[in-house]
Structure 1
Amino acid sequence: MKLTVIGGGGVRSPFLAKSIACHADKIDLTEVCFLDIDENHLNTYGKIAKHVFKFLKPEIKFTLTTDKLSALSNADYVITTIRVGGENGRVQDELIALKHKVLGQETTGVGGFAMASRSIPAILEYCKLIEQVSSPNAILFNFTNPSGLVTEAIIKSGFNRQVFGICDAPTEFIREVARMIDCSYDELSMDCYGLNHLSWFPTFQRKNQDVTLQILSDPRLYEQTSMKYFEPELTRLLNDQFSNEYLYFYFYSDVALQAILLSEQTRGQQIKEINDRMFTKLKQMDAEVDIDKNIDNAFAVFYSHYLERENSYMKSESAKDKSIQKPLISFKEFLAVPDDSGYAGVAVDIIQALKGEQERRVIVSVKNEGALDFLYDDDVVEISCLASKKGIKPVHYKDIPDTQKNLISKVKEYERLAVDAILHQDKQKAIKALMVHPLVNSYSIAKSLIEDYELFPNTK
């Protein structure tokens, strides 16, 4: 079985390579290909990913390529993780939003729309190629942000393969809670409903025993997990349901905006500066001594800069440090640390379940199909699903609190309009999409934003 990663030259490629390698036997992989159109990045981050994979799974063929056709030919599984426009695009998205005094976070509101307007056309071109040259039963796992919006666009474009949107925020929250209560990740599960980066987690189970109240009453919840961005009183107002960390941008939008305006750099500028510095050092090292011959030192440069990114996550928006500060480790230590079902874990769970090995519960973005009765069946939602050889079925949730229901409905209206606007290059629908989004909520601002982003310039 062949797995192809579109965007294999990204900064997170070494982690994705490790996760795939650790789970390769579970899904009978014989070939892995990392594809990227940026040869420089592929020959830098992709090289590190190649060494990670070859140390862990030397018997499996692993290739790096810029050739889309060869990469996708006969692929059984495809992961998309691309950033069209690179870090420069992200920075511009943020700065234009801030000019209008609205949040430009890359996956929510206008920042997410700008990113989607670049991501969706590029992804759909890959989808056409997948239909032409990949396996007839190929499965697409979309990691490209904004994941839910991109996944909905893929489905509504008429793509005739299975597609699932994957985000690591819910699974990362499970890992944080598992560490907090000192249990293994596999022992703990939670319910999830909503949209990508706009979801709630109403219950937790440990070995099929409900532990929701135990976790809610633990003061460490607001110190050692992403719930640190919220106050206990807010959780009570939300019917004692745990919040996806990205809901911070909705319930603390004024605080986040003010913090960003007072910060020396936006998050995009910060990431760009770190990545530029890291890439320069790695390229200089590669020129002096090939990365292939100096992987330990190359990984040290890579990982130290990566930690700088990770350990400063959400700091400029919330003025709070990350709950768990990751330590610096060597290449050998990185390889030795057990994989915690990270980036590829959910995809592997889905593949195993579809093969009929055992039913699994996963959190993915899929068509609603009645799971949330206040949304349309063809809306894409982020929700707990039961995966088996019969397919993937979303869990149906009733009695959703009105506050959650209203916000989900409002943002879903934006998502429908946004997908339609991007698929049909419709400027008026783009303006309407931003106008109804809670983080813009203004016709005049929405119209000005679309003009400043220079989106759909050839339409009225």
Structure 2
Amino acid sequence: MKTFKLVIAGGGSTYTPGIVKSLLVQKDRFKLNELVLYDNNAERQEAVGVIVRHVVEMFDPELKLTLTTDPEVAMTDADFIFAQMRVGLYAMREQDEKIPLKYGVVGQETCGPGGLAYGLRTIYPMVELIDYCEKYAKPTYWIVNYSNPAAIVAKATFRLRPKARILNICDMPVAIERNMAEILECDRHDLEVDYFGLNHFGWFTKVRLNGEDVTEKLKSYVAEHGYMPQNAKSDVLHSDPSWLHTYENAKNICSAFHDYLPNTYMQYYLLGDEVVKSSDPNHTRANEVMEGREKRIFDAVADYRAGKDVDLTKFFGGVHGEFIVDVAMSLAFDLRKRYLVMVENNGAVENLPSDAMVEVPAYITDRGPEPVRVGEIPTFYKGLIEQQEAVEKLIVDAAVEHSYEKALMAFTLSKTVPSLLVAKKILDDMIVANKAYWPELH
């Protein structure tokens, strides 16, 4: 059986144990000879590594596990690199969310000004990762990227390293599909969706359950309830308050615009005033995560190290891990499985620019994605996407040219920002907050 060396870049992420479990339960079909956790934060990675070692002991005790901060050690002869970097960690995410809210603008980590700030932090670390892979990894390497904001990362890496073997993906559509499956009381894997848009900016046009079109049934449900299942035992109902609000808020879009089912992130662009009104500028989603998942996992590790009886298996799960492994297996074995991924448009959506990085269904082969042709899209959706695509292009221009003006254009053009003057205040505050991370803007 062919075996693979796989690296998780951002090994200190609290999502890492779930990804590792998803990998190892597939060991009879996707066998690893070495698993590497690679991070620039050794202390954090070592803490998460406590749980990862537990996963390995349970599911594949013979597997070689390496934890390193050395890119040469990590990438040498690697077949797959799963990238899930969070540059600046949650302290910077908090700034991404709170600075815009100070000016009455949506504060979110991947959408609006927060997403642009995060993008400027992430572009060059991703380019650096690609360069390490080009230098040390096997020539046939694949980077499967989860690092956010994925739309900006995809656009920047395609521009700066066009020959890189990188596939940008996002688990948000899959999480919505999970909710759809709970609403329909079926298995998520029995659903097939059609979709178009940019990452965190798109719409489901068709949903089929074992070949049967259930789109209208879902539209009627979502227009009344959002993406919230009515099953009282649903795991979704136990999510954080901000996610409950996000899933429920889809009803306001779906009941107004009847063509398609929205990605939940469309709330930040179409319901920005409502989102700001319901946000606490002093306690954002970043605080929820730091006080919730982050605290739970690192407290559990501390207790485990202290010899206490701790159930580490509760940190093993998640659709996040399942999806990235499914995509990697399709790349590894030329399975031609159909997933939503980010690709250069090149006519996939006929009336969008050819160089837009769109999110559409594609068949994943060992040579990369083969996108499904979507055809033309209606004026309303085309207009929204072209505006957001221009924002993303401008922020990549700003990073490459070190241009303050291009950054200001991007902030001003964002649908979440009401005016140039507000955009400038947010940008100037973001420059101060991101001094250690952004390229210098002139």
TM over 0.5: yes
**1:364 pairs with 2:341:** yes
Corresponding position of 1:412: 389
How big is the shift at 1:5?
0.4
Corresponding position of 1:223: 228
> Does the Cα contact within 8 Å between 1:238 and 1:404 map onto a contact in 2?
no
Identity %: 29
Give the length in aligned residue pairs: 417
Instruction: Select the residue among 126, 148, 151 that pairs with 1:123.
Output: 126
Corresponding position of 2:262: 243
**1:41 pairs with 2:44:** yes
**1:433 pairs with 2:410:** yes
- Describe the SS at the equivalent of 2:26: helix
Corresponding position of 1:373: 350
How big is the shift at 1:105?
0.3
How big is the shift at 1:240?
3.2
**1:256 pairs with 2:275:** yes
25-34 or 270-279: which moved more?
270-279
How big is the shift at 1:437?
0.8
> Does the Cα contact within 8 Å between 1:386 and 1:392 map onto a contact in 2?
yes
Q: Which runs of 5+ in 1 are unaligned?
A: 300-330
Distance 1:133 1:48 in 2: 28
Cα distance change on mapping 1:207 and 1:286 into 2, 3 Å = closer
- Cα deviation code 1:114-142 (max 9, x no counterpart): 11111112121111111100111111111
- Cα deviation code 1:44-92 (max 9, x no counterpart): 1122022113311223222222222111111111011111111111112
How big is the shift at 1:248?
1.2
Alignment of 1:44-59 (within 5 A): 44-59=47-62
Provide the TM-score with structure 1 as the length reference: 0.84
Distance 1:349 1:397 in 2: 23
* One-letter amino acid of the counterpart of residue 194, structure 1: G
How big is the shift at 1:24?
3.7
> Does the Cα contact within 8 Å between 1:138 and 1:161 map onto a contact in 2?
no
Corresponding position of 1:180: 183
> Does the Cα contact within 8 Å between 2:402 and 2:439 map onto a contact in 1?
no
How big is the shift at 1:410?
0.5
How big is the shift at 1:34?
1.0
> Does the Cα contact within 8 Å between 2:47 and 2:298 map onto a contact in 1?
no
Provide the TM-score with structure 2 as the length reference: 0.87
Cα distance change on mapping 1:61 and 1:422 into 2, 3 Å = same
- Describe the SS at the equivalent of 1:30: strand
Cα distance change on mapping 1:279 and 1:137 into 2, 3 Å = same
**1:422 pairs with 2:399:** yes
210-219 or 86-95: which moved more?
210-219
Distance 1:408 1:370 in 2: 15
- Describe the SS at the equivalent of 2:405: helix
> Does the Cα contact within 8 Å between 1:10 and 1:46 map onto a contact in 2?
no
> Does the Cα contact within 8 Å between 1:87 and 1:268 map onto a contact in 2?
yes
278-287 or 34-43: which moved more?
278-287
> Does the Cα contact within 8 Å between 1:50 and 1:63 map onto a contact in 2?
no
Distance 2:379 2:105 in 1: 26
Tell me the C-alpha RMSD between the 2 structures: 2.4
Higher relative contact order (CA 8 A, sep 6+): 2
Cα distance change on mapping 1:55 and 1:279 into 2, 3 Å = closer
